[in-house]
Amino acid sequence: MDDRTQPPPNLDSFTPREIVEELDRYVIGQRNAKRMVAIALRTRWRRQRLPAELRDEVMPKNIIMIGPTGVGKTEISRRLAKLAQAPFIKVEASKFTEVGYVGRDCESMVRDLAEQAVTMVKTEYAGRVQKKAEAQAEERLLDLLVPPPPPKAPSGIYDPASYEAPPAPPNESYEATRSKFRLLLREGKLDTRSVEIEVKDKAGIPIGVISNLGGMEQIQDQLQEMLGGMFPGKKKRRLVKVPEALELLVQEEAQKLIDMEAVVKEAVAKTEQNGIIFLDEIDKIAGRERTMGPDVSREGVQRDLLPIVEGSTVTTKYGPVKTDHILFIAAGAFHMAKPSDLIPELQGRFPIRVELEPLTKDDFIRILTEPQNALLKQYTALLETEGVTLDFTREGTEEIAATAVQVNERSENIGARRLFTIMERLLEEISFEAPELAEKKLTIDAQAVKDRLKDIVKDQDLSRYIL
């Protein structure tokens, strides 16, 4: 078995070379970009081992990735964050607007990142208390399935204020029945039974209209928190099957066991020290307008981004979050603009520049076959669920790649994303008829690919709209 099928448990065991090797499992080519992000990630690891007085002086090595769409910019960043077990969000720079205009304000990306970190840490804590939560949920479910016998009332006249009831002797018959039901529950023999449980009604407070106003996310969060405390969720009774009841009770017990103060404290630290923000379409705000007009100023958005990238404190519902050591990875095609069109202060905060290479036919062939989540593997596995076995020949794979390159050249170049549209078109008929197919083993060779895609490849206008 290949040792690399399971990634190492933590970032401490990764050298830059090993980070690149891990990224190679999911992203084909782009070696320079992988080396740069590996260096940036390792620099973060090195910084955390410096003395405290020097640690705060080392700024993150923010990166600008330059390259057309579909060449792997987002995927490299996402896989990097997963590898580092770091909070990660992707945002489009073009969605932000200058303060004073309707739209999302730039600080919202930090609030989103903090939210992601809380979710990550909460999930981790839930895993730690899972067994205890399951045990407690099982006891609660057994109480519903086998209600305990009512306590016997003492005989004679007594003063309720001064009387203390003796402990009831264990009911052997009840304990035996409970043990029997516990065994049946664990063996799944009670799955068809229904029980009535109390669940919290999660009816929200209808103030979502506030989110349509620029810069109001924080106010909305505060109102939700304040009003949520004034109107706690009501409980309602639901009749559900035993497996669903057990799942709901486990979640409820886990919530009781999780220390949310510790979760928030760790999540804020994780956001500040390990967070990664992927700023896509940075080139869309790169122009520096010299004219006045009603349009939202792209330069204004850059100036709003600048303090966040430089390092500032953003107020979130989990408390203040410092952005000094968050890693920013910006990306853009830069067809109409160039990195030097960004304001000088923002350029200076992205010291690493890397240009990603356009994908070739050979790259497409590798993308189809090599990665752990390769497209051919995905489609083969999907159709195997219908009992259909697909066999892609080498020539068939080459023809798919050649077709993708050809369509990219003729119409919009969307990189590897073109392979998805090509594959869907190629296997459309097989996917539709799979349950009724008499022949369950199909070979996809070069001729089969040509026959299925010939009309679209010949008709340039048709391929522009369909592929």
**Which CATH number goes with the domain that contains 401?**
1.10.8.60
Q: Which of 324, 355, 386 is where one domain is finished?
A: 355
Residue 264 vs residue 11, higher pLDDT: 264
Q: What is the CATH number of the domain that holds 51?
A: 3.40.50.300
The pLDDT of residue 56: 82
Q: Report percent pLDDT > 90 for the chain.
A: 20
Q: Note the pLDDT tens digit of each residue in 152-198.
A: 655 555 555 554 544 545 556 878 888 888 888 888 888 888 888 88
Q: Note the pLDDT tens digit of each residue in 235-248.
A: 778 888 888 888 88
The pLDDT of residue 394: 92
- Does pLDDT of 297 surpass 80? no
d(CA 452, CA 461): 17
Q: Which residues contact 255 (CB under 8 A, 6 or more apart)?
A: none
The pLDDT of residue 462: 52
Q: Is residue 156 part of a domain?
A: no
The pLDDT of residue 376: 92
Q: Is residue 158 part of a domain?
A: no
Q: Is residue 81 a contact partner of residue 230, using CB atoms and an 8 Å limit?
A: no
Residue 368, CA atoms < 13 Å, CB-side half-sphere: 28
User: What is the H or E stretch that residue 42 is in?
Assistant: helix 31-47
d(CA 467, CA 245): 46
Q: Is 296 left (phi over 0), alpha (psi -120 to 50) or beta?
A: beta
Reported as a pLDDT band with limits 50, 70 and 90, residue 70 is: confident
Q: Is residue 163 part of a domain?
A: no
Number of H helices, E strands in the chain: 19, 11
Q: What is the mean pLDDT of residues 16-26?
A: 89
CA 77 to chain centre: 12
Same domain, 323 and 252: no
Q: Is residue 376 a contact partner of residue 368, using CB atoms and an 8 Å limit?
A: yes
The pLDDT of residue 154: 55
Same domain, 141 and 186: yes
Q: Is residue 241 a contact partner of residue 191, using CB atoms and an 8 Å limit?
A: yes
Q: Note the pLDDT tens digit of each residue in 209-237.
A: 444 444 455 555 555 555 555 555 567 78
d(CA 228, CA 204): 8
- Does pLDDT of 6 surpass 50? no
The pLDDT of residue 191: 84
Q: Which residues contact 242 (CB under 8 A, 6 or more apart)?
A: 141, 145, 185, 190, 191, 192, 193, 194, 195
Same domain, 367 and 452: yes
Q: Is residue 162 part of a domain?
A: no
Same domain, 114 and 187: no
Same domain, 299 and 253: no
- Does pLDDT of 422 surpass 80? yes
Instruction: Output the six-digit token pair for 103.
Output: 């739209």
Reported as a pLDDT band with limits 50, 70 and 90, residue 301 is: confident
d(CA 467, CA 414): 10
Nearest by Cα to 408 from 70, 30, 33, 29: 70
User: Could you tell me the CA-to-CA distances from 240 to 199, 313, 391 in Å, in that order?
Assistant: 11, 46, 45
Residues pairing with 197 in the sheet:
238
Q: Is residue 248 part of a domain?
A: yes
Residue 358 vs residue 297, higher pLDDT: 358
3-state secondary structure of 198: strand
CA 238 to chain centre: 31
Q: Is 86 left (phi over 0), alpha (psi -120 to 50) or beta?
A: beta
The pLDDT of residue 170: 55
- Does pLDDT of 12 surpass 60? no
Q: Note the pLDDT tens digit of each residue in 353-399.
A: 888 888 888 989 998 998 888 899 999 999 999 888 999 999 999 99
The pLDDT of residue 149: 74
- Does pLDDT of 457 surpass 70? no
Q: Is residue 262 part of a domain?
A: no
Give 27: exposed, middle or buried? Use CB within 10 Å, 0-12, 13-18, 19+: buried
- Does pLDDT of 11 surpass 80? no
Residues pairing with 196 in the sheet:
239
Reported as a pLDDT band with limits 50, 70 and 90, residue 87 is: very high
d(CA 108, CA 113): 9
Residues of the domain holding 461: 361-466
d(CA 28, CA 82): 17
Q: Is residue 331 a contact partner of residue 127, using CB atoms and an 8 Å limit?
A: no
Same domain, 134 and 192: yes
The pLDDT of residue 106: 86
Q: Which of 355, 372, 396 is where one domain is finished?
A: 355
Same domain, 290 and 242: no
Same domain, 234 and 328: no
Q: Note the pLDDT tens digit of each residue in 104-144.
A: 788 899 999 999 999 999 999 988 999 999 899 888 888 88
Residue 10 vs residue 264, higher pLDDT: 264
The pLDDT of residue 26: 87
Q: For 353, phi and psi rounded to 5 degrees?
A: -115, 135
Average pLDDT of the chain is 80
Q: Note the pLDDT tens digit of each residue in 255-286.
A: 889 999 999 999 999 999 989 999 998 888 88
Nearest by Cα to 87 from 273, 213, 262: 273
Q: Is residue 138 a contact partner of residue 185, using CB atoms and an 8 Å limit?
A: yes
The pLDDT of residue 321: 93
Domain count of the chain?
3
Same domain, 41 and 89: yes
Same domain, 36 and 63: yes
Q: Is residue 251 part of a domain?
A: yes
Q: Is residue 138 part of a domain?
A: yes
Same domain, 232 and 308: no
Q: Which residues contact 421 (CB under 8 A, 6 or more apart)?
A: 466, 467
Same domain, 337 and 383: no
Q: Which of 355, 390, 421 is where one domain is finished?
A: 355
CA 434 to chain centre: 32
Q: For 442, phi and psi rounded to 5 degrees?
A: -120, 135
Cβ neighbour number for residue 28 with a 10 Å cutoff: 22
